[in-house]
């Protein structure tokens, strides 16, 4: 993906963001595995289980999926169906990727907006999850994650566009100089 240049604030923010994403993924996945195994052991051997554990596991899966999606968009490791670039000349192979990144940015932006509206409705209706936790607090990850993905895909499409035009500027003088 697009990495900030220089040694200043943007690099530090990028490193902190990466550390927070990776750390939260490790903590959430570890806690989810411990809770799931603990729940199974308690049900099999003690005929007992926490009533709230299944709902918490579902919410942890949601958080892991969204944080992992943000991390995948950061590292350009998200799912990509890339058929068109195999059939266009190498010079134009970046153009479909720019279009796809721009489309992904728009879709993530729409999802961020709609998930924000969902969170607003959950605040308005005072919904709760688990024991008595406000649902907006738990579901608030969705608009944040989709907004971050929208931003990263937009950066990728802008960077790709800049690369296409800078490559065209480098190739253009060679095509017209007449030397062979």
Give the pLDDT score at 180. 40
In the chain, pLDDT over 90 holds for what percent of residues? 58
Residue 175 has pLDDT above 50, yes or no: no
CB 112 within 8 A of CB 141: no
Residue 60's contacts (CB-CB under 8 Å, 6 or more residues apart) are: 28, 31, 32, 35
Q: Is the dihedral of CA 100, 22, 54, 46 positive or negative?
A: positive
β-partners of residue 128 are 134
Average pLDDT, the chain: 86
Q: State the pLDDT at residue 176.
A: 45
Q: How many whole angstroms separate alpha carbon 33 and alpha carbon 151?
A: 31
- Model-level pTM greater than 0.85? no
pLDDT of residue 129: 92
Rounded to an integer, what distance in angstroms lies between the CA atom of residue 8 and that of residue 15? 11
Asked whether 160 and 101 are in contact (CB, 8 A), the reply is yes
Classify 9 as helix, strand or coil: helix
Residue 167 pLDDT > 80: no
Q: How far apart are CA 120 and CA 66, in angstroms?
A: 19
């Amino acid at each position: 993906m697009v990495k900030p240049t220089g040694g200043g604030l943007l690099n530090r923010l990028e490193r902190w963001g990466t550390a927070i994403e990776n750390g939260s993924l490790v903590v959430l996945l570890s806690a989810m595995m411990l809770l799931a195994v603990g729940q199974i052991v308690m049900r099999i051997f003690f005929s007992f289980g926490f009533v709230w554990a299944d709902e918490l596991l579902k919410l942890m899966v949601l958080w892991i999926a969204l944080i992992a999606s943000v991390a995948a968009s950061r590292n350009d490791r998200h799912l990509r169906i890339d058929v068109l670039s195999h059939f266009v000349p190498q010079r134009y192979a970046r153009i479909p990727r720019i279009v796809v990144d721009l489309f992904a940015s728009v879709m993530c932006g729409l999802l961020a907006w709609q998930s924000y509206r969902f969170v607003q409705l959950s605040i308005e209706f005072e919904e709760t999850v688990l024991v008595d936790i406000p649902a907006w607090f738990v579901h608030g990850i969705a608009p944040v994650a989709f907004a971050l993905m929208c931003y990263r895909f937009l950066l990728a499409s802008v960077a790709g566009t800049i690369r296409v035009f800078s490559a065209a500027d480098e190739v253009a003088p060679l095509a017209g100089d007449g030397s062979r």
